[in-house]
Amino acid sequence: MPDRTTQAGQAAPARRRRLTAAQRRESILGAATEVFAAAGYRAAKMSDVAARVGVSEPVIFQNFGTKDALFAAVLDRLASGIHAELEDVAGHHSPAAALLAHILNPATERSHHAPGSPYALFAEAAVLVADPASGEPARRTARVITSHLADLVRSAQAEGGIRAGIDPEAAAWLLLSVLSARPLRAAAMPRPSRLEPAVAALALAALAPTPPRPSPDTTAPDSTSSTAPHQQK
């Protein structure tokens, strides 16, 4: 058997395992997610994605064609993972209304949308909605997320945690609007540590069940009852 060592006695480098087309695509998407999250869509370079994967830049274009198409695929990949993540988190936050409160919690949002986090791309997607090239993937991503949120609203309505008469789709877009505008508030809002939780609380209060009206107090004295003093004749 041949000795797999160099003349200096060092082990020869192991041959790199050849990836399937699906594995190659997934590795590119993972690297692109990191690059787009760190640099932003406009500043991200395809050469940086290629360097992270360990391939030449033409390989990236062979798999996705354009930077716009790669960014669209990254958004689709993130959006498709939202449902699985929500189901996982739902196991720790029951009923569904508690899960919605967890999603709107500023602490949860800070961890997901910190600079460099893949979820920071959702905020950037909201900005790119009007872009001719990237607008449709961004709009598609928003629709996928609101679809998942609407399902949560329906579950919360069935459990009595959200008012029954509310349109689940409208509620989902309200929640997404609160989430997607958080970077704007973080940059411009004074005293965010006090106001940001208040904004989340207002959104949840708008969906909360209407408290039952108190029933009339039948024990109150009636001025016309027989117990009222008789008028002297």
Write out pLDDT tens, residues 152-170: 899 889 999 999 999 999 9
Q: What is the pTM of this model?
A: 0.69
Contact 61, 70 (CB under 8 A): no
Q: What tokens were used for 122?
A: 């959702």
Residue 179 has pLDDT above 80, yes or no: yes
Write out pLDDT tens, residues 39-78: 888 899 999 999 999 999 999 999 999 998 998 899 888 8
Q: What tokens were used for 119?
A: 């979820």
How much is the average pLDDT of 76-104?
Answer: 75
* pLDDT band (50, 70, 90) for residue 181: confident
**Rounded CA gap, 19 and 25, in Å?**
9
DSSP letters, 161-214, are SS-TTS-HHHHHHHHHHHHHTHHHHHHH-SSHHHHHHHHHHHHHHHHSPPPPPP
Which element (helix H / strand E) includes 151? helix 135-159
Question: Which of the residue ranges 31-40, 67-76, 209-218, 224-233 would you say has the lowest mean pLDDT?
Answer: 224-233
Distance between alpha carbon 228 and the CA centroid of its chain, in Å?
Answer: 65
pLDDT at 76: 85
Q: What are phi and psi of 43, to 5 degrees?
A: -90, -15
